């Protein structure tokens, strides 16, 4: 490999500021120079804990990502106490932005027993504190697929509350207004209501700054009209904040040819969508990888760089033909978008807060958002309303770890609808 990225990162990582900062305006991302930014990204989580701490590995991967045409990575889990300057410098020099999830293994919002307390707030804030200094941070995710079943939308007010509080924290600290958004599972019964709910109400301080979707609807061979993307586009038309795919790249039946990219970046969707992140960089048992670091071994084999039978460090080797197919698709799509000087954000629509539905959306209109420390744990059967004096159970500021199973990226794919549908109503 060339050593320009690695050597420069090692010598002067802390001083690097190679990329323009990006802001969200209306439903677009804009570079500082006013040009529109479109995401061409890959999901990047080589190790469960934090892949942004090994500068040499980041340098190897960044170089190959450059050849792929990627300009962004999504990282699901990081250690806020670690030194990320080397990797962030390497990716900045490669023209690659980062989207960072703020939640950790033990602080994410639970779908069936949601709460948002001081411990969660402070842990999310630690991640933000660790990354705001890097110009190539494109955005923060407040959560990933928290709602993954039809009966879990009672957690939506807590997602919105977390976004509100982290935006307040960002602004109070005087940080750059790095966009804060949510990555949703693609559940037809809930998706349109969830994206509208998280952006409704008319109070910009209480809505997400962007909405992202983990969708595997387009499985080649398919088309814009037969894949389900036409429906996604109809529901995203004139959306009030940027919307993009935070995971995509169906591998059934395979190999992947990524024909959906021509629709996402083409005339059908480019006016409303801001790009896509392909799942995923590293080859794992689910066979969604674009690269491998060595042949698969028995799942019983252990080693410092072996996880689940796959090597997670070393020289990345492109997996054929998927890597080249994606490279070819991205080379063909070069959207220019609109200049910020010619863009009127008032033309995008503020959505009405959705009402509850028999198919599973449980939140009735623009409910009052829970306060810090409020839980949904059976202490009330309906959410507190704007006029109600009833409150939820206060969660301790030193609450114990979440009892839910470890969430790396929920297997990296949108969960299917399972279980019996329950119907709670969140009253106005």
Q: Please determine, for residue 384, whether its predicted confidence score (pLDDT) is greater than 50.
A: no
Residue 426 placed within a domain:
no
Distance CA 364, CA 382 (A): 10
Task: Name the catalytic one among 23, 63, 145, 409.
Answer: 145
**pTM for this entry:** 0.87
Note the pLDDT of residue 287. Answer: 94
CA atoms of 351 and 344, how far apart (whole Å): 17
Is residue 257 one of the residues assigned to a domain? Answer: yes
pLDDT band at 306 (very low <50, low <70, confident <90, very high): confident
Q: What is the CATH number of the domain that holds 226?
A: 3.20.20.80
**How many CA atoms, within 13 angstroms, populate the side-chain half-sphere of residue 243?**
28
Residue 7 scores a pLDDT above 60: no
Q: Determine, yes or no, domain membership for 167.
A: yes
Q: Establish if 64 belongs to a structural domain.
A: yes
Q: Which of 63, 247, 280, 284 is catalytic?
A: 247
pLDDT in tens, 77-92: 999 999 999 999 999 9
The reply to whether 427 falls in a domain is no
Say yes or no to pLDDT of 186 above 80: yes
Residue 423 belongs to a domain:
no
Asked if the structure places residue 417 within a domain, the reply is no
Q: Is 409 a catalytic residue?
A: no
Confidence at residue 236, expressed as pLDDT on a 0 to 100 scale: 96
What pLDDT sits at residue 379? 36
Contact (CB, 8 A) for 140 and 128 = yes
Q: Any catalytic annotation for residue 145?
A: yes
For residue 17, the model assigns a pLDDT of 53
How many distinct structural domains can be found in the chain? 1
Residue 109: inside a domain:
yes
**Which residue segment(s) compose the domain that 262 sits in?**
4-412
Q: Cα separation of 288 and 109, whole Å?
A: 26
- Quick one: 291 exposed, middle or buried, by C-beta within 10 A (0-12, 13-18, 19+)? buried
pLDDT recorded at residue 295? 78
Identify which of 99, 89, 24, 76 has the alpha carbon closest to the alpha carbon of residue 276.
99
């Amino acid at each position: 490999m060339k050593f320009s990225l690695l050597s420069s990162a090692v010598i002067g990582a802390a001083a690097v500021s190679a990329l323009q900062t990006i802001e969200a305006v209306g439903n677009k991302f804009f570079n500082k120079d006013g040009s529109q930014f479109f995401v061409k990204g890959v999901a990047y989580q080589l190790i469960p804990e934090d892949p942004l701490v090994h500068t040499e590995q980041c340098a190897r991967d960044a170089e190959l990502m450059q050849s792929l045409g990627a300009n962004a990575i999504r990282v699901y889990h990081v250690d806020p106490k670690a030194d990320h300057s080397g990797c962030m410098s390497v990716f900045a020099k490669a023209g690659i932005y980062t989207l960072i999830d703020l939640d950790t293994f033990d602080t994410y919002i639970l779908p069936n027993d949601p709460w948002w307390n001081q411990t969660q707030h402070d842990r999310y804030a630690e991640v933000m504190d660790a990354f705001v200094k890097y110009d190539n941070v494109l955005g923060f995710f407040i959560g990933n697929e928290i709602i993954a079943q039809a009966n879990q939308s009672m957690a939506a007010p807590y997602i919105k509350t977390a976004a509100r509080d982290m935006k307040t924290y960002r602004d109070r600290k005087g940080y750059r207004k790095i966009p804060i958004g949510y990555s949703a599972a693609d559940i037809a019964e809930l998706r349109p209501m969830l994206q509208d709910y998280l952006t409704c109400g008319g109070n910009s301080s209480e809505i997400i700054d962007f909405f992202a979707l983990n969708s595997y609807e387009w499985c080649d061979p398919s088309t814009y009209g037969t894949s389900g993307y036409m429906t996604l586009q109809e529901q995203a038309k004139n959306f009030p904040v940027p919307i993009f795919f935070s995971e995509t790249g169906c591998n059934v039946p395979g190999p992947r040819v990524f024909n959906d990219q021509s629709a996402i970046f083409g005339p059908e969707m480019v006016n409303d969508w801001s790009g896509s992140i392909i799942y995923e960089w590293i080859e794992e048992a689910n066979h969604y990888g674009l690269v491998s670091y060595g042949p698969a071994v028995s799942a019983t084999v252990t080693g410092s760089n072996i996880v689940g039978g796959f090597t997670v460090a070393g020289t990345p080797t492109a997996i054929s033909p998927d890597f080249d197919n994606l490279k070819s698709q991205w080379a063909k799509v070069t959207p220019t978008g609109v200049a910020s000087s010619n863009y009127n954000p008032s033309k995008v629509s503020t959505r009405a807060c959705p009402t509850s539905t028999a198919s599973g959306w449980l939140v009735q209109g623009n409910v009052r958002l829970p306060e810090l420390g409020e839980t949904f744990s059976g202490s009330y059967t309906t959410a507190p309303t704007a006029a109600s004096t009833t409150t939820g159970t206060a969660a301790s500021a030193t609450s114990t770890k979440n009892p839910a199973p470890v969430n790396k990226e929920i297997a990296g794919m949108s969960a299917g609808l399972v279980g019996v549908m329950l119907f709670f109503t969140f009253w106005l």
